[in-house]
Chains A and B, each alone.
Chain A
Amino acid sequence: MQTQHIVRSYDADLKYLASRIAAMGGHAERMVEQAVQALVTSDLGLARKVVEDDAVLDEGQREVDEKAIIVIAKRQPMADDLREIIGAIRISGDLERVGDLGKNIAKRVVAVTETQQPLRLFRGLEALAELALTQLKEVLDTYASRSTDRIQFVRDRDDQIDAMYTSLFRELLTYMMEDPRNITACTHLLFCAKNIERIGDHATNIAETVYYIVTGLQMPPERPKEDKSHKVMLEDMVDD
């Protein structure tokens, strides 16, 4: 009787962690979605809301960390369960970063809307965000279903995001060179694009963690990529 009770509440602990991760994921998805929407529609109110919402994710991460530590200390889990708990800590870390990136996009809305920008630039950004959001959704769905069938697609989409980002980067650069008055707004848009690309990276991290939770193995290494020399890096320009 006693052991059964313990096992049951242990299960409840793990379920609790998973549900907290899901809730964080939902918040992160929503923040990114709304940040990009605020940018495209110049909605300052929505941008402000996104900035405030970030606190929810910070809180979520703290909670997951604390709970995970308590569970480890109390139950001294092994193998599968330990992976589950460590995985939760890692995923909540990634989601918290996704929230930060979303917030960072939202903060730039004011600066971008000061000058009129052509719709074309926003379409590219929207398309990039759609890719990253699809990536994030698929990964979190994988976490829910614990099935790694579709995990390889994550890699494909990662490549797509990179390619799209590179293309946007060039377009924005050209646009800045055409008219120096565009530089301020375009720089902000560049950071936004970079943020979205990094959201995709965090989604890939989560995919790797899910793979590890489910199988106990590291995700198979990437297949060799084609020539990547065209890739334009913006690493040193990135801030937070």
Chain B
Amino acid sequence: MDIHGAGEGVRQRLLSARWVLAAAVAGIALVAIEAGADYRIAVGASLAVIAVAAFAPRRSLRERRAEREAEANRPAMGSITAEALAAAVSDPLVIFDRQAAVIHVNSVCAVAFPGLSIGTSLPLRFRAPEMQELIAKALTHGQPISIDYSEKVPVERFFRVNVSPVGDGGDLFAMIFRDQSEIRRIDRMRADFIANASHELRTPLASVAGFIETLRGPAKNDPAAREQFLQIMQAQTARMARLIDDLLSLSRLEMKPYLNPAERVDLKPLIEGVIDALNPLAEDSGVRIDANLGADPLVVGGSRDELIQVFENLLENACKYGRSGGLVEISVIHPGQQNGIDVSVRDHGPGIPEEHIPRLTERFYRVDVETSRGQKGTGLGLAIVKHILTRHKARLTVSSRSGEGATFTVHFPPPNS
């Protein structure tokens, strides 16, 4: 701070405090006269008061003015649009009017509940009895209310739904969905996992236990039998480990039911990568994988990691169960973007009897339990595939004729549908 500025500051301060100072000096003089004290004491006291007023820190007038201006310039709530506010809410949010017609949905909501657009009648979309009641109550009472709401299809989801009136007029209402699926699923997953795992692990565990018993008893001194048993035991434990991996991966998928479709994935390099990774397996099975993916990029919306799992599972199955055919073909039917993209995996193995086809995507469903076990199969592969595809709004169709191999086709919807 320069000297001139400092002098200016002192003058300002004294000026602004002049009335208080005058009163203080008068007071001191009065007290001094009353008490008959020495005038020097009174002058000293007065000077001290003036010095304090001049130099002790105090908010200057200028400072206060600046503060007031800042306050006026601070963005006020009125400057935010309702849309911007809704967009900042990370849960699905719907604004509706007295007729229960949708006025606005935020972008999270558009992803979570596609098909809700402006003008849609809420009770027509949310038909569950508890939602009907919630909407009716909110409209009549005008008080905030919450309920628990669940949807079963296409994916199971649980929400805590809250409706409250917004604004002064009482003509608009906000409905917010807090997703509880994860919490609920963790609970259920535990029960499910225990039921499934204990059921499926019992058989291989029993067989391992049996072999251990034999190894310690009758086959104690038989090196040939020991080697053979150890091999079987290794295969069984590998299967158990895979089973647990698959169950975990299925649970993870079930835990986050809807997916952000923002990521764009080119299927072409993705599938080529999967083929490279599976080549050792194909060679072991004596199968050649032929890819016919065309020249164009094959862009779909979705999660790269999950789509890798889809094609891994389908190609692996084709190699494992269709090995007798010697050839697995993966090809793309790409009938213009507006029809989406179809990818089919075809093998020339024994095929799948018709009555089993609709059931393949059920957990643990195996056409022939023995063959599948022999292939270290867990029966979860296609269940995982179906889950992933549902999340991508894609579909799986299977066609097969006994003796002529099987074709698994994935239909991806056109982007932005």
Chain A 124-167 near chain B by CB (<8 Å), digits 1 or 0: 10010010011001001101110000000000000010011011
Q: At the interface, yes or no: B207 with Cβ under 8 Å from chain A?
A: no
Given known pairs A124-B362, A133-B153, A137-B153, the reply for A167 and B357 (CB within 8 Å) is yes
Contact code string A174-212 (vs B, CB < 8 Å = 1, else 0): 000000000000000000000000000000000000000
B residues 340-373 with Cβ under 8 Å of A?
A: 354-359, 361-365
Q: A144, B121: Cβ atoms under 8 Å?
A: yes
What CA separation (Å) do A25 and B123 show in the bound complex?
11
CB neighbors of A among B64-117 (8 A): 99, 115, 117
**Interface residue? B124 (CB, 8 A):** yes
The residue on A at minimum CB distance from B135 is: A19
The one of B124, B128, B357, B365 in contact with A144, judged by C-beta atoms closer than 8 angstroms, is B124
B residues less than 8 Å from A225 (CB atoms): none
Complex Cα spacing A19 to B358, Å: 36
Q: Measured between C-beta atoms, what is the minimum distance from A188 to chain B in Å?
A: 20
Q: Is the CB of A164 within 8 A of B124?
A: no
Q: Verify if B313 is at the interface (C-beta below 8 Å from A).
A: no
B328 to chain A, nearest CB (A): 24
Asked whether B317 is an interface residue with its Cβ less than 8 Å from the other chain, the reply is: no
* CB of A75 closer than 8 Å to a CB of B: no
A27 nearest in chain B by CB position: B129
* Shortest distance from the beta carbon of A8 to any chain B beta carbon, whole Å: 12
Known contacts A23-B127, A30-B129; is-contact A127 B152 (Cβ 8 Å) = no
Assembled-state Cα–Cα distance A19/B124 (Å): 6
Identify B357's interface contact among A23, A25, A145, A163, CB under 8 A: A163
Q: Is B237 an interface position by the 8 A CB rule?
A: no
- A85 CB, nearest partner CB in chain B, Å: 16
Partner of A23 from the list B123, B362, B363, B365 (CB cut-off 8 Å) is: B123
Q: How far is the CB of A92 from chain B (nearest CB, A)?
A: 13
Tell me whether chain A's interface is mostly helix, strand or loop, or mixed: helix
Determine which of B356, B358, B362 lies in contact with A160 in the assembled complex, contact meaning CB atoms within 8 Å.
B358
Residues of B within 8 A of A230 (CB): 354-355
| Given known A134-B154, A164-B358, A167-B359, contact A26–B125 (CB-CB < 8 A) | no
Closest residue of chain B to A34 (Cβ to Cβ) is B152
Min distance, Cβ B59 to any Cβ of chain A, angstroms: 62
In the assembled complex, which residues on chain A have CB atoms less than 8 Å from the CB atom of B199?
119
Point out the residues of chain B lying under 8 angstroms from A23, CB to CB.
123, 127, 129, 132
Kindly state the separation between the CA atoms of A163 and B363 in the bound complex, as whole angstroms.
18
Distance to closest chain B CB from A147 (angstroms): 8
Closest to B195 in A: A119
B131 at interface by CB-CB < 8 Å: yes
B120 contacts chain A at the CB level, 8 A cutoff? yes
In B179-210, the 8 Å CB interface with A consists of 199
The answer to whether A130 and B362 have CB atoms under 8 Å apart is no
- Nearest CB in chain A: distance from B283 CB, A: 35
Residue contact A26 to B359, C-beta cutoff 8 Å: no
- In whole angstroms, how far apart are the Cα atoms of A137 and B113 in the complex? 13
Against B, the Cβ 8 Å flags (1 = close, 0 = not) of A3-22 are 00000000000010011001
Task: Indicate whether A145 sits within 8 Å of B120 (C-beta atoms), given known contacts A26-B128, A167-B355.
Answer: yes
CA of A172 to CA of B127, assembled, Å? 34
| Contact indicator B124/A22 (Cβ below 8 Å) | yes
Q: Which residues of A are found within 8 Å of B354, using beta-carbon distances?
A: 163, 230
Tell me the bound Cα distance from A177 to B359 in angstroms: 21
CA distance A133 to B153 in the complex (A): 7
A18, B355: Cβ atoms closer than 8 Å: no
Contact between chains at B115 and A141 (CB < 8 Å) = yes
- B200 to chain A minimum Cβ distance, whole angstroms, is 11
Q: Are A19 and B359 in contact (CB under 8 A)?
A: no
Bound complex: CA of A29 vs CA of B365, how far in Å?
Answer: 27
Closest Cβ neighbor of A162 among chain B residues: B358
Chain A residues with Cβ below 8 Å from B362 are 123-124, 127
CA distance A166 to B359 in the complex (A): 11
Beyond A26-B128, A163-B357, A164-B359, whether A18 also contacts B153 by CB under 8 A is no
Chain B contacts for A123, CB-based, 8 A: 362-365
Q: Chain A residues with Cβ under 8 A from B358's Cβ?
A: 127, 160, 163-164, 166-167
Most buried by A among B99, B128, B152, B356: B152
CB distance from B410 to the nearest CB of A (A): 15
Complexed CA–CA distance, A22 and B121 (Å): 10
Distance of B246 from chain A, by nearest CB (Å): 16
Determine which residue in A18, A19, A29 has the highest number of CB atoms from chain B within 10 A of its CB, and name it: A19
- Contact pattern, B 143-168, Cβ under 8 Å of A = 1, otherwise 0: 00000000011100000000000000
Of all chain A residues, the one with the shortest Cβ separation from B359 is A167
Q: Which residue of A lies closest to B363 (CB)?
A: A123
Task: Say yes or no: B357 contacts A33, CB within 8 Å.
Answer: no
A145 to B127, CA, bound (A): 13
Contacts of B128 in A (CB 8 A): 26, 29-30
In the assembly, what is the distance between CA of A77 and CA of B193, in Å?
57
Given contacts A23-B123, A145-B115, contact A33 B152 (CB under 8 A): yes
Q: Which residue of B lies closest to A130 (CB)?
A: B153
Since A33-B152, A163-B354, A168-B359 are in contact, a sample of 20 more A-B pairs with Cβ atoms closer than 8 Å, ordered by chain A residue number, is A19-B124, A22-B132, A29-B128, A30-B129, A123-B362, A124-B362, A127-B361, A133-B152, A133-B153, A144-B120, A144-B124, A144-B125, A145-B117, A160-B358, A163-B357, A167-B356, A167-B359, A170-B355, A171-B355, A230-B355
CB pairs A–B below 8 angstroms (23 shown): A18-B121, A19-B123, A19-B124, A22-B123, A22-B124, A26-B127, A26-B129, A27-B129, A29-B127, A29-B128, A119-B199, A123-B365, A124-B362, A134-B153, A137-B153, A141-B125, A144-B121, A160-B358, A166-B355, A166-B358, A167-B356, A167-B357, A230-B355
Question: Which 8 A-B residue pairings sit nearest by Cβ, starting from the closest?
Answer: A26-B127, A144-B124, A164-B358, A22-B124, A134-B153, A163-B358, A167-B355, A25-B127
